[in-house]
Amino acid sequence: MNKYLIGIPCYNEEGTIGRIASQSKKYGTVMVVDDGSIDGSIDQIQIPDVLVCSFHRNMGYGHVLKTLFEQAKEYDGLITIDGDGQHNPTEIPRFIKALEQNKGDVVLGNRFLSKSSIPPKRKDVIGMFNKLYSVGDSQCGFRAYNKKAIDSIVIREDRMGASLEILKQAHEKNLKVFEVPCTIVYFKHDSDINVRHGLSLVETILWMTVWRKPLLTLGVPSLILLLAGMCSTYMTLTIYASTRVFVQSWLTAMMFCLLSGILLFSTMVIVWAIKRGIREMKL
């Protein structure tokens, strides 16, 4: 019989975490990772047979997932479910069934396949990320991973962008992705969290793009800026030679282009060197 770790991220969820952890126990070994909560969450998860890992300060959703993936190496599969009450633990068997039937190495919960009433603004934002990653729901934290996925995925992102990093690695490592319907309950108080979440995802996408193609994303713009800087320098010196006056606009353009170009080029070299070092270490 397969052994599953039910991983529950927790940050200030004293009103729901105890119930979610208790209801999840029947499907596997439950581990709650408390991400530096400052409310009464830690008291609510002192439940028999529930494993607890508690951080002294808030480390971020991605860091929590790193911990869960590390612990899950001793199990046949990992199911992650949010501790805020948005997800229904009774739907965990759907994910386990998909894993055991080998439908996917990574099983995503898809709120769009269920009867969840999704706020229009959130629906539009999530839809944008879904198209970028070619999945039905890129932002649902209700997921499952088999042994192959657990051993293959290496999470580096500490914040909310880890959800996208996992999808990117699943694609790169040819992991099969499958989706099952799941219901989600929405709360009125999380609008500010959603804004931070969205900004974090945008930041992650930008950095992943730079990391994947540094020569294109940093090298080309740096060369264009350096070329523009040299043209501005020529014009600045030409005008000064005939008038003995530095034209402020040309001088500003020269400084901006040269400094920006040097900064981008230096960043490209650093990123490229780090990537090469990582590849050599793997070899």
Spatial CA neighbour of 83 closest among 17, 18, 24: 17
Q: What is the pLDDT of residue 202?
A: 60
- The answer to whether 20 touches 81, Cβ cutoff 8 Å, is yes
Q: What is the CATH number of the domain that holds 208?
A: 3.90.550.10
> How far is C-alpha 271 from the chain's CA centre?
20
Q: For 210-258, what is each residue's pLDDT tens digit?
A: 767 888 888 899 999 999 999 999 999 999 888 888 889 999 999 999 9
Pair (13, 76) in one structural domain: yes
Token pair belonging to 25: 């126990």
Phi, psi of 4 (to 5 degrees): -120, 140
Pair (99, 24) in one structural domain: yes
How many CA atoms does the CB half-sphere of 93 hold within 13 Å?
A: 3
Pair (134, 245) in one structural domain: no
At a CB cut-off of 8 Å and minimum separation 6, what does 81 contact?
Answer: 6, 7, 8, 20, 24, 87, 89, 92, 141, 142
* Domain end position, chosen among 192, 212, 232: 212
Token pair belonging to 136: 């039905």
Pair (200, 261) in one structural domain: no
Number of domains in the chain: 2
Pair (56, 195) in one structural domain: yes
* Domain end position, chosen among 212, 237, 271: 212
Which residues in 96-187 belong to E strands, given as ranges? Answer: 106-110, 143-146, 177-181
Residue 20: domain span: 4-212
Q: For 3-36, what is each residue's pLDDT tens digit?
A: 999 999 999 999 999 999 999 999 999 999 999 9
Q: What is the dihedral of CA 256, 257, 262, 263, to 10 degrees?
A: 50
Pair (188, 50) in one structural domain: yes
Report which residue type is found at 281. Answer: M
Coil, helix or strand at residue 88: coil
Pair (191, 65) in one structural domain: yes
Sheet containing 143-146, strands listed edge to edge, beginning at the edge strand earlier in sequence: 50-54, 29-34, 4-10, 77-80, 143-146, 106-110, 177-181
In order along the chain (283 residues), what is the average pLDDT of each group of 10 residues?
93 95 96 95 92 94 96 97 95 97 97 80 77 88 97 90 90 96 77 53 66 83 94 92 88 93 91 71 53
Q: What is the pLDDT of residue 192?
A: 47
Pair (128, 229) in one structural domain: no
Measure the CA–CA gap between 222 and 65, rounded to whole angstroms.
36
Pair (62, 37) in one structural domain: yes
Pair (88, 22) in one structural domain: yes
Q: What is the pLDDT of residue 180?
A: 97
Pair (26, 58) in one structural domain: yes
Coil, helix or strand at residue 249: helix
Which residues in the chain belong to E strands, given as ranges? Answer: 4-10, 29-34, 50-54, 77-80, 106-110, 143-146, 177-181
Q: How many CB atoms lie within 10 A of CB 104?
A: 21
Spatial CA neighbour of 49 closest among 5, 99, 89, 9: 5
Pair (61, 89) in one structural domain: yes
End-to-end CA distance of the chain: 36
**Three-state DSSP string of 23-57:** HHHHHCEEEEEECCCCCCHHHHCCCCCEEEEECCC
* Domain end position, chosen among 180, 212, 244: 212
